[in-house]
Structure 1
């Protein structure tokens, strides 16, 4: 028990003022005691399960499936509850129902000869699952998670034992009545959604929601409705955030990537951005150009007509050239970014179709540049200026895009410390000697490194989006956002340069090389990891770094587990574009009260097959760390906050008992 000592110091007066405010919420000794007992009990509950995903890249079907099945957690809980009672087929069917309740019920309505019996059996099974999934939470927390329409009924069912004689009929009658009044379907959906919610206490997205795949907007809609989430920005997220802020270079980059992978539906249908001006511009200036090297890269199941592919190729080339011009403006405007080596348009011999690259002459794969003035190659022609203004207006006025980006700012950050884990997308920039790289990111020449560097970058990113009343500061912030996409010391990018121009126009792959930051050479070094932990105020003995960004190539023998388990890379290839390299279709991480579990996933076929054929993702789980003593809430960050609240309440209790503060009733 803590005691409060009355004196005349300012510290005591401040504490007394705070305790008087606290007394409004706990106006009596009894109220304070009750809350202390409640919080102390919560500290001893098992910690909630955390779910980590990274590098989703628009693959919404596989993402939603992994989210719905909680990387196999639901299947394991079904086995815990019904392992000796149900067949494998029955357990698989129950799992599919929990993942996709609405669509699975529709199939059952067609197949079941006695739907009332199916409803009854299913309701009992789902109630058992809910009871098991909710057992490690307080009734108050479960109550807050209950769907409003059925909250009272579900609470009754969860906390009554159907085998007790005095309540057996009561329990049965609730289930029968749900079916009789025609609410069984809605009730099953509500229970399934509740189970999904209860099995995961916190979702961590370690960056790169956008680009490559067809549905980042669908993923964002899903995340916005998730009950508890944080996001660490990836380089593919930050460039969309810059586009939403109005950065012209970021807008061009987003459109180039979307045209390259044939994801115009995300732009047009997902975000309502009008691409007709870009199509019209492309047809005007590139109508007779085959644009062979700009043909979109399409997955087999996302084919398009030859005519559409030709138009996309022309749009792709048009926006790519504009991007290089706009990037040139940023690089010249911010010489301290140190990116002069990315100024390549002025190194082209437009008559001969060659480029002087690092003192060597290369033949260009495409020499047709109708919008480039060779004497001033970075100058936008009037039609390009008009086009960019129209596109910028569409991005700034896309209600859905702005909503999604505001969510990324509200729930996102450059990094996060959570329950002794350090979460970030790419890297902490290091120098060759293993020390934190010192980076100057402003005209003042002031250098930042380590945690201070990431903190400063986050402030500037937020200014780039929110700083409406200071155009100069906003422009600088937007340029920083663009730098984070491809700058040589960007912790989100982690390479010395982005060789976009070279990959398009120069055949020699030696020019395509992007050297990774020294962080990636040292990520298997325990000393380097410990240095990072100490920089961010974490205990090296118990902490982990969790990041994504660089796909782990299992095919080549790479491991996601680095530095004896201190660093975990969970980018295993959600994006189909990476799967031929990685050999799998993604990693996810589960951190529950028993320890850390790394889950690797095989490719996901389709939502339709998952429902109709009950094909779950084939996943393999590796136990990374197993706790000798099960982790409790008291061992978590939330537990530390609760301990502070208990301390404050004990001071309030002592103040009541000493008469320093009077009870309010």
Structure 2
């Protein structure tokens, strides 16, 4: 280093002193530099992008277990024509569901020891293949303690090494004799699943419609590496957890709409008995025809009595929701949403609702809890019911645990490897320029700063040191994020829930999309957004979900000449008829981008019993002219930064600026 470099080292001396605690000698620092330089030349890890899971736990779990079909492809590549198709299918099923498949094999297999030998050799080959792009250190860290040494030994052995054949067979024999073969198979299958996906990105909306959101979050709690960009449905549940009564009403209403009480009652222990009691007493004579639950969200058949009660509860919470929302809209005139206080526009004698100066006929006009002179006032019974629901949400430990998980792994947007990720939109003006949106304190933001400040506002609702007035605004703002016209998570003219329930004229049900959705196929607009977020590299992309892609009608998820990818293909069963498919997974590996289009998944039992897999088709989105390395990623930038400081530490050691700890 020259004099200028020497000065730089001296300026970093305090940091280098701290670094020397981890690398106390020249040898240790040198070894780490060699290690990091080598890692830079490994192939880039595989990233998976999923959006809008909507409680479809079994489909989500299966996609992670089969790595969007990547494990099956590797098994086919390894064994090809060596084994029969049924054996390939059984091996894949074993990797996806080892515990369940082992039970079936042990009940049917005549020569179990022979099966163990063959299968363990096959699993080791698959594991060797999926681990080939990682360092031994990273692979070792992914191994459970019990079998770490054995798996490492087996991964290093090669079939052509005849001298070690007896050693390998002895290892397998010992596992069989000590009744550890099953545990080993389960462990190595899980390791294969773990190594097949290096990083999981979820672009929002884990919650609502399907019954398994809480199970998805239980699974993610122990998942090795994942992040989430919050969606409007996630934020709705955050608001409910924070004590926003309008969000609580919306959460309960959506669960009732899709006949999905599992997440509320079984997942989070929310007590709905008071709502059921109130609904029976208040709407017992009302057919509640507009509120019959939908059963296309994966909940299956429900009997007529349950359906009838669900409809009454659905109407009861909806009426309360519109009242509670109206008070929030009135509280914040700057939101410009007072036109959504639609109970004010109803003529309860004529059964009409006036919107924009035009009268619309109501489907029904039975509102026993509404005072026409003060339509947004809760009755005493409604107020007591809301107090009970509010208490049930804010004291749910499991719900708070899962919301903390979303806060810990999530944000409004993410930039990773030249890809800009967010759930829904970036508000735009008519001409495609970034639109300013007002947040707390009257301050206006746009683009990246709008996303950042919105994220900070969301977090302030859960922080004990937030100013009381800011915390109150943040808690209320969850409602705007859910349905506000300029919300980055909604971006439509209105949420026409009231109109769909109560107005006959379907033209009133239309929700006009914001400028982002009108202009997102424009490459220039996408470039402007990417520039605003500081994504500068030539091969850059926007990836988001939120609005389902209607693949059945020919809509292309790849837009703006490949600059933008919409990966909401409808994971939830409630969307399958609308989209014609059952979800997308975007896979970004060392060769480029592949979009995987999934057909509906049956269930875990069928997958284990019959070896059924999610049928998927792939579309090559963009392939690299060379195989991308860790050096080409954000991780590579991080490692180069570490190497720079380690070299400075070496200089400091060798010139006596920092002492070695020998």
- Calculate the TM-score normalised by the size of structure 2: 0.98
Q: Do residues 416 (structure 1) and 420 (structure 2) align?
A: no
Q: Which moved more, 1:497-506 or 1:210-219?
A: 210-219
Residue 467 of structure 1: CA displacement?
A: 4.0
CA distance in 2, matches of 1:311, 1:57: 24
Counterpart for residue 609 of structure 2: 612
- The within-5 A match list for 1:13-52 is 13-52=10-49
CA distance in 1, matches of 2:646, 2:433: 44
1:319 corresponds to which of 317, 320, 332 = 317
Question: Once superposed, what is the RMSD of the aligned Cα atoms?
Answer: 1.5
Q: Do residues 650 (structure 1) and 641 (structure 2) align?
A: no
- The within-5 A match list for 1:469-488 is 470-488=467-485
Q: Does the aligned pair in 2 maintain the 1:423–1:545 contact within 8 Å? A: yes
Counterpart for residue 137 of structure 2: 140
Counterpart for residue 265 of structure 1: 262
SS at match of 1:368: coil
Q: Structure 2 regions of 5+ residues with no counterpart?
A: none
Residue 39 of structure 1: CA displacement?
A: 0.4
Q: Does the aligned pair in 2 maintain the 1:4–1:654 contact within 8 Å? A: no
Q: Do residues 509 (structure 1) and 506 (structure 2) align?
A: yes
Q: Does the aligned pair in 1 maintain the 2:210–2:299 contact within 8 Å? A: no
Q: Does the aligned pair in 2 maintain the 1:534–1:540 contact within 8 Å? A: no
CA distance in 1, matches of 2:117, 2:387: 60
Counterpart for residue 346 of structure 1: 344
- The within-5 A match list for 1:151-190 is 151-190=148-187
CA distance in 2, matches of 1:445, 1:464: 18
SS at match of 1:417: strand
CA distance in 2, matches of 1:569, 1:297: 26
Q: Structure 1 regions of 5+ residues with no counterpart?
A: none
CA distance in 2, matches of 1:137, 1:95: 22
- The within-5 A match list for 1:400-415 is 400-415=398-413
Residue 99 of structure 1: CA displacement?
A: 0.8
2:98 corresponds to which of 101, 118, 137 = 101
CA distance in 1, matches of 2:166, 2:110: 26
CA distance in 2, matches of 1:465, 1:28: 44
Counterpart for residue 447 of structure 2: 450
CA distance in 2, matches of 1:3, 1:365: 83
For residues 54-74 of structure 1, what are the alpha-carbon distances to aligned partners after superposition, in whole Å with 9 as ceiling and x for unaligned?
111111111111111111110
Q: Do residues 251 (structure 1) and 240 (structure 2) align?
A: no
Structure 1 residues 580 and 515, CA gap change in structure 2 (3 angstroms)? same
For residues 67-93 of structure 1, what are the alpha-carbon distances to aligned partners after superposition, in whole Å with 9 as ceiling and x for unaligned?
111111101111221113222221111
SS at match of 1:466: coil
SS at match of 1:578: helix
Counterpart for residue 521 of structure 1: 518
CA distance in 1, matches of 2:178, 2:219: 31
SS at match of 1:465: coil
SS at match of 1:302: coil
- The within-5 A match list for 1:178-327 is 178-299=175-296, 302-327=300-325
Residue 516 of structure 1: CA displacement?
A: 0.7
Residue 137 of structure 1: CA displacement?
A: 0.6
Residue 540 of structure 1: CA displacement?
A: 5.3
Residue 42 of structure 1: CA displacement?
A: 0.4
For residues 518-556 of structure 1, what are the alpha-carbon distances to aligned partners after superposition, in whole Å with 9 as ceiling and x for unaligned?
111111111111111110111252111111111111222
Counterpart for residue 459 of structure 2: 462
Q: Do residues 541 (structure 1) and 538 (structure 2) align?
A: yes
- The within-5 A match list for 1:484-633 is 484-539=481-536, 541-633=538-630
SS at match of 2:573: coil
Counterpart for residue 357 of structure 2: 359
Q: Does the aligned pair in 2 maintain the 1:260–1:296 contact within 8 Å? A: yes
Structure 1 residues 49 and 389, CA gap change in structure 2 (3 angstroms)? same
Structure 1 residues 362 and 468, CA gap change in structure 2 (3 angstroms)? farther
